[in-house]
């Protein structure tokens, strides 16, 4: 996770579609494993800190203990965004930090990224940090969720397929989706397997995503 703490997983297994080299998934080692020669443009998004109660989320950065856990969420998101911005540097399209970000607003930012990448023939990269919905890994916003299928549906014809970094609980669902769809150029790197929570533990600074999916 792009955070001053290393990412571990609450499950004893790792799901990987390919044999991983030591640098695969490490954004800070991008030049050593980058999966495309195309020029990238990154959109960095944070989810809502307190999504509606109808959205089933884990207790990783939960709403259940006001104050304390909200503070953990704020701190974690701030570090994630800052570390990602530093890692992608000049290839940054936009960073969106809004703890009350709506699904509509998030979708608008994603569409703008895709439109720019289509016009300039760039490869879109999407990074999300925040809550992942239990059972789907969907990204959680103030009024609903965004699924990976919805992101795929937003892509204009003639645009390079996006590469997605989902730093959320249960994000392995999204990696599995990419494997099942088997679309060349459409990839997801996820923080954990599909039925696991992403956990922040104190340790070395890491930008490593553990679950790499490729066709």
The answer as to whether 31 is a domain residue is yes
How many angstroms separate the CA atoms of 31 and 88, rounded? Answer: 11
Q: How far apart are the C-alpha atoms of 189 and 18, rounded to whole Å?
A: 12
Specify if 48 maps to a domain: yes
DSSP 71-110: HHHHHHHHHHHHHHHHHHGGGEEEEE--TT--HHHHHHHH
Q: Does residue 33 sit within a domain?
A: yes
Q: pLDDT tens per residue, the chain (215 residues)? A: 333 222 333 333 333 444 456 666 667 676 776 778 899 999 999 999 889 889 898 765 444 444 444 445 666 778 888 888 888 889 999 999 998 999 999 999 999 999 999 999 999 999 999 999 999 999 999 999 999 999 999 999 999 999 999 988 888 899 999 989 999 999 898 877 677 766 654 433 344 555 444 43
Report if residue 1 sits inside a domain.
no
Alpha-carbon gap, residue 106 to 145, rounded angstroms: 10
What is the domain range of residue 118? 6-213
Question: Structurally, how many domains does the chain consist of?
Answer: 1
How big is the chain, counted in residues?
A: 215
User: Residue 110 domain-assigned?
Assistant: yes
The reply to whether 87 falls in a domain is yes
């Amino acid at each position: 996770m792009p955070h001053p703490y290393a990412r571990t997983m609450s499950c004893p297994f790792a799901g990987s579609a390919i044999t991983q080299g030591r640098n695969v998934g490490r954004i800070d080692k991008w030049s050593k494993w980058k999966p495309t020669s195309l020029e990238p443009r990154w959109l960095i998004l944070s989810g809502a800190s307190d999504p509606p109660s109808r959205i089933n989320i884990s207790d990783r950065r939960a709403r259940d203990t006001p104050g304390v856990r909200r503070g953990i969420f704020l701190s974690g998101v701030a570090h994630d965004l800052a570390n990602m911005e530093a890692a992608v540097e000049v290839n940054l399209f936009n960073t969106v930090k809004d703890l009350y970000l709506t699904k509509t607003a998030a979708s608008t930012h994603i569409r703008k990224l895709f439109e720019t990448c289509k016009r300039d023939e760039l490869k879109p990269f999407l990074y999300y940090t925040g809550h992942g919905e239990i059972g789907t890994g969907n990204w959680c916003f103030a009024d609903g969720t965004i699924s990976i299928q919805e992101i795929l549906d937003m892509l204009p014809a003639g645009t390079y397929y996006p590469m997605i970094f989902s730093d959320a609980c249960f994000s392995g669902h999204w990696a599995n989706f990419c494997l099942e769809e088997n679309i060349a150029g459409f990839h997801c790197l996820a923080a954990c397997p599909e039925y696991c929570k992403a956990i922040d533990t104190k340790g070395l600074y890491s930008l490593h995503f553990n679950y790499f999916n490729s066709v």
